[in-house]
Amino acid sequence: MQAQCVSLCLLGAMVFLCSAHARGLRRCVISMDMRRIEESFRGIKNAIQAKDTFQNVTILSTSETLHSIKPLDVCCVTKNLLAFYVDRVFKDHQELSPQILRKISSIANSFLYMQKTLQQCQEQRLCHCSQEATNATRIIHDNYDQLEVRSAAIKSLGELDVFLAWIDKNHQGTSAASRQET
Amino acid sequence: MVLEEIETSLIMWFSYALIPCLLVDGVAVLPAPQNLSVQSTNMKHVLTWGPVIVPGEIIHYSVEYQGEYESLYMSHIWIPSSWCSPTQGPECDITDDITATVPYSLRVRATLGSLTSAWSTLKHPFNRNASKALLSSLPCPQQPPLQEPCSLRRSGFFSASAILTPPGMEITKDGFHLVIKLEDLGPQFEFFVAYWKREPGAKHAFSAILPAVYRRQTRVFQISWMISKAYEAGTRLSREHVKMVRHGGIPVHLETMEPGAAHCVKVRTFVKAIGRHSAFSQTECVKVQGETLPLALALFSFVGFMLILVAVPLSVWKMGRLLRHSCCPVVMLPDTLKITNSPQKLISCRREEVEACVAAGLSSEELLRAWI
């Protein structure tokens, strides 16, 4: 009787682990060509970063936040950071130069499209937010609030290359497979 | 006196009333462009409008756009178009402005010197992935701020649909190699190339059966026609290969063809940015020559090779002999000077064998004397 109980428990645990692993495999990825957005940013990177006066501070805090994100949390963190940029950074930044305004508009609208793609994942419950993911988002928001709004917006814009590279790295793989058609 | 006052006030009133008709916000009125529309073919988007005609004058137009982000978060921001601020013709290539797959609002106004018209806005926003099929399949989340564009999507209000045409392709035979060169449509396009070998047997067999069956009954003909088509499709699918080509304009090798059979190719484009593909192009088939010519060629080349294999050493040997005779000719000695004994024997005589040698020499002398 006891042996049966133990074996049933073991079986249950294995099934649970397998389902969790399978859920991790069914990742939510943005199958988008990030190169176009990275090209847009490269055109204005020097102009934006030149306006950043607080060189010793970082908002994204890459080592604390982005580098420590697990694969399961990628969807949640991507969604949160996209919302961070769309709802706060782009709105707080006042741009006068038409050339830079065009590139920022291109990036902002692409982020909006990416948000819509991730929203579909959220409806399929593939975008669960763990405590680590929520903490990482909170750190970034706190860093942003510590600076004056205009400076914070400029600094966050200057760190877009880090964010775009992180998205590119974490949203590959299945996107290539999903493109194959016969 | 009173009449004069009334007349003056009437004139003043009349002129004040006229001013708004002539001036709007301090500028004279120029009619706004009408009938704005967007045509999109293969990710090239062109905004066109009805021209404003003022006799004898050249009208300039300014185009501005606003992405979905601007319309939701900063609706007062309109961005001047990259190439059309200003432009002369009643059209504008807005490809470089439409850089995201979201609805874009567009507006145009005419200018003539210091006169400007009112802004004329595109009736329904343009999205570069718009198509009738796509409109009905997209889900519509309820959370703000995405409600507004979602309602626009649901109602099917788009001013144009993006058209993707089948790409042009050029098939060449490089010996037995099937090489394809695709139309260069830019960096946003990828190509899916499907190619297969067409089996001559199956099609001919069924084409022979069909007329015979048709003579019996129409229904039987229809069924067997369907079976033949299904079989043909099945055999074709089992041998169909697909290759993804990332860039057009460069020749790409598909496969090595078998002689005697037809090889068929068709291709369609895929645009990752909007997640849509075009229709397949027309199927083009090529055939390489049968086996008779290569066989004759092979036989001929084999015979030639064998001849060369024999003739070359022979000629080399002959040449060698010729050279030896010309460089170092063999001198013919007269008989009297010929040494009958081997010169080696004379040289190798040693002291111990002197007597034997002498005896050998004497014996020849004796022979000579005897003969004399």
Tens-digit pLDDT profile for residues B330-340:
677 777 777 76
Winning range, highest mean pLDDT, from A56-65, A150-159, B326-335: A150-159
Average pLDDT over residues A147-157: 92
Winning range, highest mean pLDDT, from A10-24, A120-134, B223-237, B356-370: A120-134
B175 and B151 inside one domain: no
Contact B69 A116 (CB under 8 A): no
Alpha helices in B328-341 (DSSP H): none
In chain B, which residues have their Cβ closer than 8 Å to the Cβ of A31?
272, 275
B254 domain residue, yes or no: yes
B48 and B130 inside one domain: yes
- Identify the DSSP state of B278: -
| Integer Cα distance of B201 and B185 in angstroms | 38
Structure-token pair, residue B124:
């329904």
Is B290's pLDDT higher than 80?
no
**Whole-number pLDDT of residue A8:** 80
Burial of A129: CB neighbours in 10 Å, binned 0-12, 13-18, 19+: middle
Winning range, highest mean pLDDT, from A17-26, A44-53, B14-23, B129-138: A44-53
ipTM exceeds 0.85: no
Residue with tokens 């990036």: A107
Average pLDDT over residues B235-261: 84
Read off the pLDDT of residues B187-202 as tens digits, 9 standing for 90 and up.
Answer: 889 999 999 988 765 4
Is A116 near chain B, with CB under 8 Å? yes
B106 domain residue, yes or no: yes
Q: Regarding predicted confidence, which is higher, B240 or B16?
A: B240
Q: How far is CA B126 from the centre of its chain?
A: 29
Q: What are phi and psi of A53, to 5 degrees?
A: -95, -15
Q: Residue B287: CB partners within 8 Å, gap ≥ 6?
A: B260, B261, B262, B263
Amino acid occupying residue A120: Q
Q: Which of B99, B102, B266 would best serve as a mutation to test chain A binding (most A beta carbons within 10 A)?
A: B99
C-alpha torsion sign, points B344, B350, B355, B356 = negative
Q: Regarding predicted confidence, which is higher, B2 or A58?
A: A58
The DSSP-derived string for chain A is -HHHHHHHHHHHHHHHHHHHHHHHHS-------HHHHHHHHHHHHHHHHHT---TT--SS-TTTTGGG--GGGHHHHHHHHHHHIIIIIHHH-----HHHHHHHHHHHHHHHHHHHHHHHHHHTT-----HHHHHHHHHHHHHHHHS-HHHHHHHHHHTHHHHHHHHHHHT-SHHHHHH---
The three-class DSSP label of residue B318 is: helix
**Whole-number pLDDT of residue A53:** 82
B226 and B143 inside one domain: no
Largest pairwise CA distance in chain B = 190
Contact (CB, 8 A) for B71 and B109: no
pLDDT-above-90 percentage for chain B: 42
Winning range, highest mean pLDDT, from A39-53, B105-119, B253-267: B105-119
Picking from B73, B65, B58, B61, the residue whose alpha carbon sits closest to that of residue B38 is B65
Contact (CB, 8 A) for B191 and B248: yes
Please give the interface size between A and B, counted as residue pairs whose CB atoms are below 8 Å apart.
71
Q: Report pTM.
A: 0.67
Virtual torsion, Cα A170, A173, A176, A180, nearest 10 deg? -140
Read off the pLDDT of residues A71-100 as tens digits, 9 standing for 90 and up.
Answer: 888 899 999 999 999 999 999 998 889 899
**Whole-number pLDDT of residue B124:** 93
Picking from A38, A118, A42, the residue whose alpha carbon sits closest to that of residue A82 is A118
B138 domain residue, yes or no: yes
Structure-token pair, residue A24:
């991790």
Minimal CA separation from B174 to chain A, in Å: 26
The CATH number covering residue B44 comes to 2.60.40.10
Structure-token pair, residue A70:
């697990």
Contact A113 B79 (CB under 8 A): no
**Whole-number pLDDT of residue A179:** 43
B31 band by pLDDT with thresholds 50, 70 and 90: very high
B223 and B189 inside one domain: yes
B133 and B181 inside one domain: no
Minimum-distance CB partner of B272 among A86, A101, A179: A179
Give the residue from B254, B287, B320 where a domain finishes.
B287
Burial of B39: CB neighbours in 10 Å, binned 0-12, 13-18, 19+: middle
B98 domain residue, yes or no: yes
Minimal CA separation from A115 to chain B, in Å: 10
Q: Regarding predicted confidence, which is higher, B140 or A57?
A: A57
B205 and B272 inside one domain: yes
B360 domain residue, yes or no: no
**Whole-number pLDDT of residue B116:** 93
**Whole-number pLDDT of residue B105:** 96
| Integer Cα distance of B142 and B349 in angstroms | 125
- Identify the DSSP state of B83: S
| Integer Cα distance of A116 and B146 in angstroms | 9
| Integer Cα distance of B26 and B31 in angstroms | 15
B193 and B151 inside one domain: no
Is B207's pLDDT higher than 60?
no
B37 and B145 inside one domain: yes
Minimal CA separation from B114 to chain A, in Å: 22
B20 domain residue, yes or no: no
Element of type H or E holding B114: none
B112 and B182 inside one domain: no
How many CB atoms neighbour CB B24 within 10 A? 13
Q: How many distinct structural domains can be found in chain B?
A: 2
| Integer Cα distance of B269 and B281 in angstroms | 9
B69 domain residue, yes or no: yes
B214 band by pLDDT with thresholds 50, 70 and 90: very low
B197 and B136 inside one domain: no
B127 and B212 inside one domain: no
Give the residue from B96, B127, B155 where a domain finishes.
B155
Amino acid occupying residue B76: H
Virtual torsion, Cα B92, B97, B99, B102, nearest 10 deg? -80
Parent domain of B64: 31-155
**Whole-number pLDDT of residue A63:** 72
Minimum-distance CB partner of B67 among A109, A116, A119: A109
**Chain B: residue whose CA lies nearest to A119:** B141
Residue with tokens 């595109």: B122
| Integer Cα distance of A40 and B104 in angstroms | 18
Residue with tokens 């695709």: B182
Amino acid occupying residue B224: S
Gyration radius (Cα) of chain B, Å:
48
In chain B, which residues have their Cβ closer than 8 Å to the Cβ of A86?
69, 73
pLDDT-above-70 percentage for chain B: 64
* Lowest mean pLDDT, pick from B102-116, B176-190, B197-211: B197-211
Alpha helices in chain B (DSSP H): 2-22, 68-73, 132-137, 147-154, 200-214, 218-238, 292-327, 343-347, 354-371
B251 and B179 inside one domain: yes
B346 domain residue, yes or no: no
B359 band by pLDDT with thresholds 50, 70 and 90: low
Give the residue from B125, B155, B185 where a domain finishes.
B155
Average pLDDT over residues A152-171: 91
* Lowest mean pLDDT, pick from B68-72, B220-224, B271-275: B220-224
Average pLDDT over residues B173-189: 90
Is A21 near chain B, with CB under 8 Å? no
